[in-house]
Structure 1
Amino acid sequence: MLSNSASTLLRKLSQKKFRKEFGLFVVEGKKGVQEALDNADVQLIVVEESAIDSDMGIIISYAEKTDIPVERANKREVTTIKQTETFPGVMAVVSMSESSLDEMVDEETIIILDRVNDPGNLGTIIRTADWFGVHAIILSEGSVDPYNEKVVRSTMGSIFRTNIYQSEYILDTVEFLKNNGYSIAVLDMEGDNITQFHAKKKQVLLFGSESHGVSEKLLPLVDHAYTIAGTGQAESLNLAISVGISLHQINM
């Protein structure tokens, strides 16, 4: 049976204000929980009694050996705490591990996302960046919470290998990075073809939201604009796809 304290905590963590207050968030599913156990500070694991199998048994055994509390919930209790429509049988409460801006200046490549508010896009970008070995992402004010359940689920565990900084004033953040030797590149329809883009040793890739683009106040700080040429009739590319193509190009 699920304890009242665990039930209350999990319900609260579905809200951004409590995630921020407690410095905790939730990940669901075997893969996500295993990634958390391998790469993060796990505070609690909850398993659905009827879903326990051999893989779940490994997670439970590891948690118990490392003194991580494990609680069991029945189907009725699961309906009150789950953050996805179909509960995958296990969830973990994980401590946030946000980076400071000072810690990021050693990274060769940094992705900045300006007012990106689609959780699926953000999660896919984090996962794609992880694939290409880029582990520094900065979010501007007005962006989606990176610990939103949809974001976390879309990262497929990559969030635990990514340094995320949530800027309170993105103009100051970009100026700080320029002053620390970073070149700022932006995706723009009028820019050079991406095949001509060669990343600097310290490179920032700046992306705006699909609906608004990059904020006007940031454009004077841009060193290079590039475009992804298309041959079809679609009006634009999905943001996460654009990030993936850009990362592929700078890794060539």
Structure 2
Amino acid sequence: MSTTLTSLQSRPNRQRAQLSVLVGIRAVEAAVQGGARIGHVIGTETAFNAPRFRQLDLPDVPRYIADTDTLDKLAPVASAQGLLATVRISLHNAASVLERATTALLLDGVQDPGNVGTLIRTAAWFGVDAVVAGAQTAGLFHPSVLRAGMGGHWDVALARHDDLSETVALARRAGMTCYGADMGGTPVQYWHPVQPSLLIVGSEAHGLSAARLDAIDEPVSVSGSADHPATESLNVAVASGIVMHRWTVAAP
């Protein structure tokens, strides 16, 4: 049991097992509500006896009791919050996802798990249909990405496709207009997006590459105050959230 939980901190092991780790009752609740398949749960007696856990419909899911110290050692984060669970990974085929989506977010080299999870959470909040991870992007089911996603994983279609040029080509074949977040783009307040469309978000450090900018139909930016000499840029998840709001609300 402990070997399974600790091994799932590695992406190859998660891919082989098709499992990842949920931390805490809120994460387990969200997964159950979203129809995810729970493999097993390990928690303290207190966690299992709490009303929130007892209300979950998990009659056939194996349970294992452990003390707090043991759980914290097994957890992929600092604290297990009294409860850990394995959950079945659900990744879709990128081509199929793009054919069905009205809006799809493409992550190009977003490496920080917290940012990736927040982007998934934000996409879900604004009703984006799909999130596709490209090369050098953190694993969508990394435990820290799941934690930051706050349930968003179960409300959007998730896919991975490491060839970004081919992903854009797939989107175009599906009839999508392709946008990209870039500091030199159209200010978001003057942007008039159409759907179906793909929005590409680049890495935290470098943004979109020149090749990626050449491949899109229009770049879009979030401008700030002119008086911020010490502040380099917005966090990628914050900037993308502003763009996603405009994208999903303003498009006809």
TM-score by length of 2: 0.91
Where does residue 166 of structure 2 map in the other structure?
172
Q: Structure 1 stretches of 5 or more lacking a match?
A: 1-5
Among candidates 39, 42, 55, match of residue 38 of structure 2 = 42
1:1-252 counterparts in 2 under 5 A? 6-39=1-34, 40-51=36-47, 52-59=49-56, 62-64=57-59, 67-104=60-97, 105-231=99-225, 232-233=227-228, 234-250=231-247, 251-252=249-250
CA contact (8 A) 1:29 1:90 kept: yes
Match of 1:3 in 2: none
Kept after mapping to 2: 8 A contact 1:186/1:225: yes
Specify whether residues 189 and 15 from structure 1 end up closer, same or farther in structure 2 by C-alpha distance, changes over 3 A only: closer
- Once the two structures are superposed, residues 14-44 of structure 1 have per-residue CA deviations (whole angstroms, 9 ceiling, x without a partner) of 2222111111001111111011112211111
Distance in 1 (CA, whole Å) between partners of 2:213 and 2:223 is: 21
Note closer, same or farther for the CA distance 1:124–1:182 as it changes in structure 2 (3 Å cut).
same
Question: What SS does structure 1 have at the residue aligned with 2:55?
Answer: helix
Q: Following the alignment from structure 1 to structure 2, what is the Cα–Cα distance between the partners of residues 79 and 211?
A: 32
Tell me by how many angstroms 1:76 deviates.
4.3
Q: In structure 1, what residue type is equivalent to 2:171?
A: L
SS in 1 for 2:194: coil
Superimposed CA distance per residue, residues 148-174 of structure 1 (whole angstroms, 9 cap, x where no aligned partner) = 121111111111222111112111111
Secondary structure of 1:240 counterpart:
helix
Cα distance in 2, alignment partners of residues 167 and 102 from structure 1: 9
Q: Is the 8 A contact 2:95 2:170 kept in 1?
A: no
AA matched with 1:86: S
State the SS of the aligned residue for 1:63. Answer: coil
Could you tell me how far 1:58 is from its partner in structure 2? Answer: 2.3
SS at match of 2:40: strand
Q: Residue type matched to 2:54 in 1? A: G
Gaps of 5+ in 2: none
Contact persistence 2:38–2:61 (CA under 8 A): yes
| TM-score normalised by L of structure 1 | 0.91
Shift of 1:236: 1.2
Flag the 1:171–1:215 CA change in 2: closer, same or farther, 3 A: same
| Aligned-residue CA RMSD (Å) | 1.5
For the Cα contact (< 8 Å) 2:178–2:197, is it kept in 1?
Answer: yes
Say if 2:117 and 2:148, in contact at 8 Å, map to a contact too: yes
Question: Secondary structure in 2 aligned to 1:191?
Answer: strand
Measured at CA, do residues 11 and 235 of structure 1 come closer, stay the same or move farther in structure 2, by a change above 3 Å? closer
Aligned length, in residue pairs: 243
| In 1: Cα distance, 2:182 partner to 2:73 partner | 45
